[in-house]
Structure 1
Amino acid sequence: MLKLNKSRKKLIIDFLIINLVWITAVFIWDILTGYNPTVEGEIRHNISVREVNDLNLILGGIFLGTIFGFLNLFIKNKQERLRKKSYGRIIFIYSITHILLTILTIFIVGVLSELIVAGEISKETFLEIRRFVKSSDFWRILTFTYIVSAGIILFQIINQKFGPGVLLDLLLGKYRQPKEVKMVFLFMDLKSSTTYAEKLGHVKYSQLIQDCFSDLTLAVNEFDANIYQYIGDEVVLIWPYDDGIKGAKCIKIFFRFKEYLQKRSDHYIQSYGFLPQFKAGINGGTLMAAEVGVIKRSIAYHGDVINTASRIQGLCNSFKEEFLASKLIVTDLAFYNSFNYSFIDNIELKGKKEKVDIYAIKQ
């Protein structure tokens, strides 16, 4: 039996959801515009006009969902290229593409509908499609489909901005009142960042960070991480505790990120003169999650867990290690014994009364 990884499953689910949205949108269009009751009883090729209309609606929803579903997948695969384009250019290209795909859908639906109803395609079929494209009904449909399409993309952009699932939590007010949650926090920071920033200059250095975090996105998607925040050249990744520990995803992501950087080593060396390296610190446990802010809302985490993870990451240079973890994480990861864990020291971290056992993680 063919097994799909989570990233592929997510793409399939997104594709099916987009199809469902378009089918629903088409029937909403029918409700909003209504139909002429004087022709409801008319017969065409032994089928009522209403039945033909329903057939067109079903075919239209399916084909719009399929075509724009594939367009959505294409856009996701080209995110890196699109990121470098201006929004004006993207909107212009998308608008032209939308018009062409809508015309293509109308043509396909018109031909298939006639084939199903009449059993054949005549010259009159193409003339009817041509007349329809020139009518005011076509422009109303084009406007409606553009609004639906833009709404889908806008929702995806906002969801991507907040992080997967966060937008829905905000809409539902899930964290309006602080709630206790158990999470894994992984802090990753560029090694020798100050030296590189001075060497490259702020423009080139900023481009370096963009490239690194673009490569990180591949690993984030693969291991179901959420990006909590970017802080300069540092990034904080989070998981619900059990999800992050399962399969050692919270550890594997760091080494996979290194692999992605290595694969593009020629690009980094040619563009910046070196291959960037990151150091990381990880911790997990129970803390509070709450919706914060008024003008710009987000879900924030408060507690010792996140501060400890940051402190652990800050010790990497002192111990000349690239990846450090707390004892809790190492203990719970013991079941997934695919890495080497070595005890470093029992450290008194800044701001903590009790000492913390620190471990180094290696492949």
Structure 2
Amino acid sequence: MNRNSIVFWIFSLLAAAASGVFYGYFYNGKISAIGAIFALFLCIPPLLFERGNLFPRLFDRINALPTPSYIFCSLLANYLLIGMGYFVCGTLLWALGFIPGAWWQEAILPTSIWIYTLVILAVLSFVSRVRELLGRDIFANLLIGRYRKPIEEERIFLFVDLVGSTTFAEEFGDLRAQQFLGALFAAFAGPVRRHNGTIDDYVGDAAIITWPMQRGLRNADCVACLFDIIDVIESNSEKWLSEFGRVPRLRAALHGGPVVTAEIGVDHHKITYFGDTVNTTARLEQLCRSLNTPVLISSDLAARLTLPDGIRSNNLGTHAVRGKGQSLGVMALVRPRGKQSELVAQRA
């Protein structure tokens, strides 16, 4: 568990316990630890589900639904999880003698709490969907106005491009190509979340993922995220073949450095990044084609991190990056063990 996860759980559990104490005081006029215990049992299952730790495949399916279906299924799933938590907590506390009354009165979710829960979950589901649409970090930063004034910072960027998307669209049509891209980008969500990244934008058939420099360097999360994405695709190769007739192949480039981050827009606000670092990453991804190499990383970024186990780098020397006006040290990232044949990107 990384530092961000630890902070999240400490804050969430304290907030849940406090809300339980407040609920008990508001309705019963007394402060009791029972309310905090109930609140923790009610909140932990939905929190685990929302973060993809509980029933991850179900979470991914719900998360990929259109917004109306997502809200309905999310409400249903969370209500069932809350009911399960209430049942377990009520049964335990009743069996241990901490609460009086009949067992069924303490273990079955009351109608009043059921209605209250639906209202709260509707709001939380809507906010959660908006946060997922914008990106978790972007949503939080927009709320607190962190980038209202431009800030200079160091960030890592990962550009991931689908190989052969034009050919796929010519063969199956634009609608089918869009469904293919939608399924692919949905597969990115889990690895990006696990490795503390943020999907900043989708540009055509490419996704742009970013980290603050120190977060991306920690445990080489920026590199691990990419190969986690590849593993997720490989592990579902049969599903890809049955649904789309092919397994996605990717080109990717990693680079990091200084950028200016700012919130822009009036009617539509967006956090965007300015500077040579972003442009260089895009050009490095284009260089994958001429070098016939699926994964490239700049030598500058590679020198600042320790590669994960099983991944090694091959120095490809310096290359002129189109539009940059100077040469850039480039390295290929490879994984000697594994299904390398599925990782080789052909020239478009």
Do they superpose with TM above 0.5?
yes
Look up the match of 1:321.
293
What is the deviation of 1:236? 0.8
Q: Return 5+ residue gaps in structure 1 as ranges.
A: 36-49
Give 2:14's match in structure 1, choosing from 20, 27, 43. Answer: 20
1:54 to 31, 36, 46: 31
Asked if the contact 1:6/1:222 (under 8 Å) is kept, the reply is: no
Alpha-carbon shift at residue 222 of structure 1 (Å):
2.7
Bigger Cα displacement from structure 2, 182-191 vs 326-335: 326-335
CA-CA distance at 1:353 after TM superposition: 2.3
* Equivalent residue letter for 2:59: Q
Secondary structure of the corresponding residue to residue 21 of structure 1: helix
Q: Which amino acid aligns with 2:31?
A: D
Quick check: 1:59–1:109 contact (8 Å CA) kept in 2? no
Q: CA deviation at 1:272?
A: 1.8
Q: Please tell me whether the aligned partners of residues 342 and 361 of structure 1 are also in contact (alpha carbons under 8 angstroms).
A: yes
Larger radius of gyration: 1
Q: Percent of aligned pairs with the same residue?
A: 22
Q: CA deviation at 1:126?
A: 7.1
Q: Is the 8 A contact 1:223 1:249 kept in 2?
A: yes
User: Which of 252, 255, 261 is equivalent to 1:283?
Assistant: 255
| Structure 2 residue runs without a partner (length 5+) | 336-348
- Residue in structure 1 matched with residue 60 of structure 2 by the alignment: 80
Number of matched pairs: 328
Matching residue's letter, 1:6: N
**Distance 1:350-1:114 versus aligned 2 partners, 3 A rule:** closer
- Which residue of the partner structure matches residue 340 of structure 2? none
Question: What's the counterpart of residue 273 of structure 1?
Answer: 245
Once residues 184 and 175 of structure 1 are traced to their aligned partners in structure 2, the CA distance between those partners, rounded to angstroms, is 17
Q: Deviations over 1:52-89 (max 9, x none)?
A: x433xx42343133223213423543222213555545
Alpha carbons of structure 1 residues 357 and 338: separation in structure 2 relative to 1, 3 Å: same
Other-structure match for 2:175: 203
Corresponding residue for residue 214 of structure 1: 186
SS in 1 for 2:31: helix
Distance 1:155 1:83, change over 3 A: closer
| TM-score, normalisation: structure 1 | 0.75
One-letter amino acid of the counterpart of residue 108, structure 1: G
Distance 1:320 1:34, change over 3 A: closer
* TM-superposed deviation, 1:308: 0.3
How do 1:289-328 residues align onto structure 2 when only pairs under 5 Å count? 289-328=261-300
Q: What amino acid sits opposite 1:185 in the alignment?
A: F
Aligned equivalents of 1:223, 1:266: Cα separation in 2: 25
Q: CA deviation at 1:165?
A: 3.0
In structure 1, distance between residues paired with 2:68 and 2:8? 26
- Mapped to 1, the partners of 2:166 and 2:324 lie a distance apart of 28
Distance 1:98 1:273, change over 3 A: closer
Task: Give 1:30 deviation, angstroms.
Answer: 6.2
| d(CA) in 1 for partners of 2:176, 2:327 | 40
